């Protein structure tokens, strides 16, 4: 067991120390031990004393050291020249020029001409996330974009319609359930998404060991599906399958009527609406035989406990909100909502929901995007309309963008359109650890810290924890070069334009009086006043960040299980009942029913896959992580390959209405007939040093369409899965 900062050796003038910290790449937040020698990070290993991860860390977490110490790491502010090259500038000069240019934009066009985009890593930094939202609110700008409209927003909208709040999101009670029914999730590779707790694979094995079942619904026999039961569904066929399951539950009177009556309204209407979705009538749409659907419905309803859980694959099809809504509905009607072994609602040790409400993030459709009139989701607008927002003249036109740890050119549909539009901005600023396909267009790239160089606690993951857990980490090394923490850079940019970055009007007023609060002070106070806090000395043994660091450097488990009986408090509709038949559901059912079954010009449907050794659009530049991977192949079923005269390793062109990519073919019966599968996040044309080579690969987003007409209408979510394509061999002579 280490102290927070344990000095191992001071021989020969050198200082070697080991420090407990944790990984901030994905939800498990695995504990790590960082070895630091003379101020340099020299080794990372899993922390066996972390009470949650207990010595586990995946290759990405360990491999993060190569990203941190990469010779290509951006260490100084860089200013783009007219010829596209970058030259080093001082922070002072960069901030002064940024300030002047922002002030000019504000004077000519108003503060709402300035927007932000933040990528997934921002959600893992308590300070950066809070400050970027605060900056947008202080500007009063609607231009708040994030990777959420590529992976999560349909989930939030479904919760808003179902419970009344986008913040009411359940997690699957993996440690107690008898039946896990999982859509579009591959936790053996992802380690869990919107559910936080390591050793997910052990948790799934334990379900089977105690006589339960794990059923994986996916168009691909994923790494998870191989280990358990696989239900092969067509890409974007999930809504049809879930509706047929619900139909069966109601038709065979398998529902838990008491559970519904107690907390929900609209059950009779819902029954009418799902009546047409007989398994025998929809099996050709979802690809799952009617007998199997009926059997699954009976098993789900009769299990001692069961939980339906869906993640990214379930969120990013053409009917993502509908799918998420139906998952919650199945949990409710089978009597598995808010009960041990079902779908449960963690209570965080810090009132994160209260904080999010205070930040104005619990909203839906309180305003519409200028382009396409699409609803905001928790304050954010669809990233798929950013290019049009930049290019369409008129009041509110987007003229300056600050990108935080993001690479939207490789993350949003038709990223090449966004890349071109970004060149038309008056100002593009990026805070990042390296050069990427987005910020190579930036006027300034400002060097940000890696997570080893900043303090943190797992703020965004607290509502998704299977075991309530807190850890506070100090930076384990000082920032390399001139890198700075993102929140301090945002603070300094805001100071240049005389605004205080906070979502709270009171804090902004205090700031204008010269009293500026830092993130550590704010969240330490929230912890100390929360259920486990020390109440500023009034409660012996209570927590503060200082006590966490000193007494629990490896973190502390606060509760072993998620409490139940909280559902009533989580329903925020005016009548305090779950709404089972909102008009938006009717609208989506009509849209689903009207969707064409096939398109002869584009007979296949493409869907994405997650990879073990990279995440989204980053880490692909790490040779260590990429070594041994199969690369970004295009998986296709042998029947389709035969028909198209394609063989393993052949080069093929995949074409949709929006664009095309080329990829090597991998013939495999892991994918369902009628589909092709490509990983997401490839297509880099620059490497981290900004050279034009990059690691390349097929840019999945070239197949997907941007613009208001191309998104899922309730959430403005980019439609990434189920896009119709055709595949053609490319002649060898080319
Ligand atoms: S699973 Fe891997 S990437 Fe995710 S937190 Fe753990 S070590 Fe980091």
User: Which residue ranges make up each domain of the chain?
Assistant: 5-57, 165-347+565-587, 595-729
Mean pLDDT of 530-544: 94
Please tell me the distance from the alpha carbon of residue 148 to that of residue 406, in angstroms, as a whole number.
12
Mean pLDDT of 601-618: 81
Taking each continuous run of H as one helix and of E as one strand, the counts in the chain are 26, 31
Pocket of ligand 1 (CB under 6 A): 23, 25-26, 28-30, 57-58, 60-61, 191
CA-proximal residue: ligand 1, atom 4 (nearest): 26
CB count, 10 Å around CB of 443?
Answer: 21
Candidate of 22, 25, 68 to mutate for ligand 1, largest count of ligand atoms within 8 Å of Cβ: 25
**Residue 648 near residue 665, CB atoms below 8 Å:** yes
Candidate of 21, 27, 28 to mutate for ligand 1, largest count of ligand atoms within 8 Å of Cβ: 28
pLDDT of residue 690: 56
Note the pLDDT tens digit of each residue in 395-452: 999 999 999 999 999 889 999 999 999 999 999 999 999 888 899 999 999 999 999 9
320-333 vs 583-594: helix axis angle to the nearest 10? Answer: 120
Note the pLDDT tens digit of each residue in 626-661: 665 667 899 999 999 999 999 999 999 999 999 999
Note the pLDDT tens digit of each residue in 518-536: 999 999 999 999 999 999 9
Residue from 77, 114, 82 nearest 94 by CA:
77
Residue from 471, 696, 684, 624 nearest 69 by CA:
624
Q: Looking at the predicted structure, is the pLDDT value of residue 223 above 60?
A: yes
Q: Which atom of ligand 1 is nearest to the CA of 57?
A: 7
Residue from 617, 637, 638, 620 nearest 629 by CA:
620
Q: Looking at the predicted structure, is the pLDDT value of residue 11 above 80?
A: no
pLDDT of residue 615: 63
Tokens of 324: 């998420």
Confidence of residue 663 (pLDDT cuts 50, 70, 90): very high
Q: What is the bridge-based pairing of β-strands 468-470 and 213-218?
A: unpaired
pLDDT of residue 616: 64
Confidence of residue 686 (pLDDT cuts 50, 70, 90): low
Give me the helices (H) in 423-463, please: none
C-alpha 200 – ligand 1 centre gap (Å): 12
C-alpha 23 – ligand 1 centre gap (Å): 6
Candidate of 52, 191, 622 to mutate for ligand 1, largest count of ligand atoms within 8 Å of Cβ: 191
Mean pLDDT of the chain: 92
CA-proximal residue: ligand 1, atom 2 (nearest): 58
Q: Looking at the predicted structure, is the pLDDT value of residue 577 above 90?
A: yes
Q: Looking at the predicted structure, is the pLDDT value of residue 71 above 90?
A: no
Confidence of residue 197 (pLDDT cuts 50, 70, 90): confident
C-alpha 58 – ligand 1 centre gap (Å): 5
Note the pLDDT tens digit of each residue in 716-728: 999 999 999 999 9
Q: Looking at the predicted structure, is the pLDDT value of residue 9 above 60?
A: no
Residue 255: CA count within 13 A, CB half-sphere: 22
Q: Looking at the predicted structure, is the pLDDT value of residue 684 above 80?
A: no
| Residue 430 CB-density burial (10 A; 0-12 exposed, 13-18 middle, 19+ buried) | buried
pLDDT of residue 566: 95
Please tell me the distance from the alpha carbon of residue 687 to that of residue 692, in angstroms, as a whole number.
7
Candidate of 58, 120, 465 to mutate for ligand 1, largest count of ligand atoms within 8 Å of Cβ: 58
Q: Looking at the predicted structure, is the pLDDT value of residue 229 above 60?
A: yes
CA-proximal residue: ligand 1, atom 5 (nearest): 29
Mean pLDDT of 709-720: 94
Mean pLDDT of 360-380: 94
Question: What are the phi and psi torsion angles at 94 (to 5°)?
Answer: -60, -50
User: For 595-729, CATH number?
Assistant: 2.40.40.20
> What is the value of pTM for the model shown?
0.94
CA-proximal residue: ligand 1, atom 6 (nearest): 30
C-alpha 62 – ligand 1 centre gap (Å): 8
User: For 165-347+565-587, CATH number?
Assistant: 3.40.228.10
């Amino acid at each position: 067991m280490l102290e927070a900062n344990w000095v191992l050796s001071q021989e020969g003038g050198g200082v070697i120390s080991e420090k407990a910290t944790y990984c901030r790449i994905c939800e498990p937040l695995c504990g790590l031990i960082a070895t630091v020698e003379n101020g340099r990070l020299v080794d990372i290993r899993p922390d066996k004393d972390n009470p949650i991860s207990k010595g586990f860390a995946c290759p990405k977490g360990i491999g993060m050291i190569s990203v941190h110490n990469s010779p290509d790491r951006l260490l100084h502010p860089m200013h783009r020249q007219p010829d596209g090259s970058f030259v080093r500038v001082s922070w002072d000069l960069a901030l002064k020029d940024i300030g002047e240019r922002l002030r000019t934009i504000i004077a000519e066009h108003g503060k709402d001409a300035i927007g932000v985009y933040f990528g997934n890593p921002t959600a893992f930094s308590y300070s950066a996330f809070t400050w970027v939202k605060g900056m947008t609110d202080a500007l009063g700008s609607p231009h708040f974009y994030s990777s959420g409209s590529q992976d999560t927003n349909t989930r939030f909208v479904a919760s808003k319609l179902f419970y009344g709040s986008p913040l009411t999101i359940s997690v699957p009670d993996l440690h107690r359930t008898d039946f896990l029914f999982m859509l579009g999730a591959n936790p053996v590779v992802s380690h869990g998404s919107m559910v936080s707790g390591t050793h997910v694979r052990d948790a799934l094995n334990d379900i089977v060991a105690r006589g339960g079942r794990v059923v994986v619904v996916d168009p691909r026999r994923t790494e998870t599906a191989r280990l358990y039961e696989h239900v092969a569904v067509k890409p974007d066929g999930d809504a049809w399958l879930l509706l047929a399951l619900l139909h069966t539950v109601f038709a065979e009177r398998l529902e838990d009527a008491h559970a519904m009556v107690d907390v929900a309204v609209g059950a009779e209407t819902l029954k009418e609406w799902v009546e047409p979705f007989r398994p025998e009538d929809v099996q050709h749409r979802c690809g799952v035989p009617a007998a199997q659907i009926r059997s699954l419905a009976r098993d789900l309803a009769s299990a001692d406990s069961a939980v339906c859980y869906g993640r990214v694959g379930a969120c990013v099809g053409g009917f993502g909100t509908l799918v998420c809504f139906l998952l919650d509905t199945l949990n409710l009607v089978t009597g598995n909502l808010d009960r041990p072994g079902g779908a449960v609602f963690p209570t965080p040790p810090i009132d994160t929901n209260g904080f999010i409400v205070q930040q104005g993030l619990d909203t839906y459709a309180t305003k519409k995007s200028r382009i396409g009139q699409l609803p905001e989701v928790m304050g954010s607008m669809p990233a798929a309309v950013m290019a049009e927002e930049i290019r369409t003249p008129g009041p509110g036109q987007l003229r300056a963008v600050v990108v935080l740890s993001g690479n939207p050119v490789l993350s949003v549909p038709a990223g090449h359109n966004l890349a071109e539009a970004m060149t038309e901005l008056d100002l593009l600023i990026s805070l990042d650890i390296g050069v990427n396909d987005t910020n190579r267009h930036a006027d300034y790239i400002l060097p940000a810290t890696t997570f080893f160089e900043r303090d943190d606690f797992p703020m965004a993951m607290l509502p998704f924890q299977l075991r309530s857990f807190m850890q506070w980490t100090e930076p384990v090394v000082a920032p390399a070069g001139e890198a700075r923490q993102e929140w301090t850079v945002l603070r300094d940019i805001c100071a240049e334009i005389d605004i205080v970055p906070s979502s709270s009007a009171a804090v902004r007023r205090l700031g204008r009086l010269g009293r500026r609060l830092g993130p550590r002070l704010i969240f330490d106070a929230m912890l100390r006043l929360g259920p486990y806090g020390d109440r500023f000395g009034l409660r012996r043994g209570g927590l503060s960040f200082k006590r966490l660091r000193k007494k629990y450097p490896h973190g502390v488990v606060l509760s072993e299980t998620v409490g139940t009986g909280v559902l009533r408090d989580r329903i925020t509709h005016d009548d305090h009942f779950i709404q089972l038949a909102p008009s938006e559901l009717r609208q989506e059912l009509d849209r689903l029913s009207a969707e064409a079954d096939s398109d002869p010009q584009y007979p296949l449907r493409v869907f994405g896959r997650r990879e073990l050794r990279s995440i989204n659009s980053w880490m692909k530049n790490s040779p260590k992580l990429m070594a041994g991977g199969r690369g970004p192949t295009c998986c296709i079923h042998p029947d389709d390959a035969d028909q198209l005269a394609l063989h393993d390793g052949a080069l093929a062109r995949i074409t949709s209405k929006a664009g095309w990519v080329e990829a090597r073919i991998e013939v495999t019966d892991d994918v369902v007939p009628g589909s092709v599968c490509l990983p997401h996040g490839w297509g880099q044309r620059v490497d981290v040093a900004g050279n034009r080579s990059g690691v390349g690969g097929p840019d999945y987003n070239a197949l997907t369409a941007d613009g208001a007409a191309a998104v899922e209408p309730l959430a403005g979510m980019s439609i990434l899965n189920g896009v119709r394509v055709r595949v053609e061999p490319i002649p060898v002579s080319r």
